[in-house]
Homo-oligomer: A and B are copies of this chain.
C-alpha cells in the first residue's frame, strides 16, 4: 500500500515533476537485491503520451547493475529535509556497504504491479522501463527510460502543478551543486 499523500500523476503530466531539474534518487531492484543512489544528472527526454527520462549511471555504481539486470528503475525527488540523506546515498556505494539502505534508514514502498522500491519521504516518483541503448550506456553511461507510472505527494503537487508555496519548506525539492551543497527550489516567477 502506498503511504499517505502518494497520489497518481497522469503519465501525460509526469514531465512536470522533473522539468525544473531537481536532483533525483535512482532506485532499482533485482530479485531480493535493492539499492538507491543520488543523481544530479537526470532529465526529461520526452513528454505527452510517450514520456521519457535520461539518467547518468556511472559504471562503478551498484544500482546500475540492478537496472541492467532488471530493465527497470525509479527516479524520485528528495526534499530539503532529505539533503543529508541524499548526499550520503550519492557518496556511499552498496559495493562497499552492502546494507547501505538499511544503514541510512531508508524505507521503501511498492506500487501494485511494479517491482520497484519507491523511497519514502520523497515528493514525486517516476517508475521507468529501461529502453536499452547499448552505445549510450557503454560510451556515455547514459540510460533512457520510458515512464510507466508516476506519483506525487499531494501536499506539494496536485491538479497538475507544484504547490511548494502552500506546504512546509522542508518539502521543497533540491538541486545538488557539489560536495553536498544543494540549492532549494525557490520562489515562482512568471515569464
Chain A residues within 8 Å of B, Cβ to Cβ: 16, 19-23, 40-46, 52, 54, 56, 80, 83-88, 133, 135-136, 140-142, 144, 161-162, 164, 172, 174-178, 180-191
Contacts and interface: CB of A to CB of B under 8 A. Distances in A.
B54 A44 contact: no
30 contacts: A16-B178, A19-B40, A19-B41, A19-B176, A19-B177, A20-B40, A20-B176, A20-B177, A21-B40, A21-B175, A40-B44, A43-B54, A43-B56, A54-B54, A54-B142, A83-B191, A133-B135, A135-B135, A161-B178, A172-B186, A175-B175, A180-B190, A181-B190, A182-B189, A183-B185, A183-B186, A183-B187, A184-B186, A186-B186, A186-B187
Contacts of A23: 21
Contact of A80 (B44, B162, B181, B189): B189
Given A20-B21, A21-B23, A133-B136, 6 more contacts: A19-B177, A20-B183, A21-B43, A21-B175, A161-B177, A181-B189
Contacts of A19: 40-41, 175-178
A87 B191 contact: yes
A84 B140 CA distance: 34
B135 A140 contact: no
A18 to B, nearest CB: 9
| Among A52, A56, A164, A183: residue with most chain B CB under 10 A | A183
Contacts of A52: 140
B43 A42 contact: yes
A19 to B, nearest CB: 5
A190 B19 CA distance: 23
A63 to B, nearest CB: 18
